[in-house]
Structure 1
């Protein structure tokens, strides 16, 4: 059995540490190069309008602002582009692109002539999987993101949930009452 001096052991540990740091640095650089090449697909004007319509049907305008006026469609688009894998994005866009024709065949009317109740009923049918698994998954994703974006908006958090950013105010000039 051979013995190792403290100096040789420290030297070996230093080299191992430097090698590990260099390896992770090189692997991180290759991941950044792959991430820099990725760009989200652009949304067409028709897809933007359909997404706004979907979100507006899920949480419509009333006495309190609806989802569209609070900017939830922008939140949904950002979440879909940044947080979902390309396959899920493609499936969602496929369902979104076929939405008008599916609704028109369901209610036997053009999109512009369908009532709010008919559109809500159609989304209910989509959510229950009567139009396929892709439509059900897209509807589930859309409902979840719409509710998340709506309930986390400043208007709803402050005015309806009475959220205070930093509760427990300090008033340094308050007089002390003796009991």
Structure 2
């Protein structure tokens, strides 16, 4: 091999190795399914954690196990106006900074009780006519919408509608002589 070519390759490789530490290879691509929201995977994970704080797993499955974050994103993406979608996205993007200013830690490092208190604080935020007030409005809207859609998605899930509270489209037969016992599951008639 020619010595000049070898030195050129060596210079290119060492220059490339010098640039690697400054490169950020952690891609946080926008999820394609929610084209109106421009949500990243980390934001979807944050939304899942918030919905799991609202309805945690216990005796029954939690919101995260029933894929409620997907329901929330679909409802916001498909059913809300573009102004509300922008407000939701702004609140979702501003939430980590809000957490950092209120608690001084990242959201992942907080305990469950601290997360609950933080979400309640965010829900009760009052907005003012300042740029900071607009952020507070967006965070409050984001958290209130997330809470409402978490409960709606959870109660409308197949698991709840088939295993916990049996749903019948039409009322069952009427029998006036039947005693209601505590072991009988309630029926929700549509």
Q: TM-score, normalised by structure 1?
A: 0.67
CA distances 1:81-105 after superposition (whole Å, capped 9, x unpaired) = 0011111111111111121121122
Aligned to 2:148: 144
- Choose from 152, 156, 161 the match for 2:160: 156
- Give the root-mean-square deviation of aligned CA atoms: 1.9
CA pair 160-84 structure 1, distance change in 2 beyond 3 A: same
2:88 equivalent to 1:88: no
Structure 2, unaligned runs of 5 or more: 1-34, 128-135, 174-190
Runs of 4+ aligned structure 1 residues displaced above 3 Å come to 164-169
Structure 1 residue 124 corresponds to structure 2 residue 128 = no
Q: Secondary structure at the match of 2:167?
A: coil
Secondary structure of the structure 1 residue equivalent to 2:168: coil
Q: Is contact 1:103–1:119 with CA below 8 Å preserved after alignment?
A: no
Cα deviations across residues 116-145 of structure 1 (Å, max 9, x unaligned)? 111110110011115722222222211111
The CA deviation at 1:55 is 0.8
Measured in 2, the distance between the counterparts of 1:113 and 1:134 equals 23
In structure 2, the residue matched to 1:134 is 138
Cα pair 1:91 1:134 within 8 Å, conserved? yes
Q: Name the stretch that deviates more: 52-61 or 40-49.
A: 40-49
Shift of 1:165: 4.5
Aligned partner of 1:61 in structure 2 is 57
Give the whole-Å Cα distance in 1 for the aligned partners of 2:108 and 2:57. Answer: 18
SS in 2 for 1:98: helix
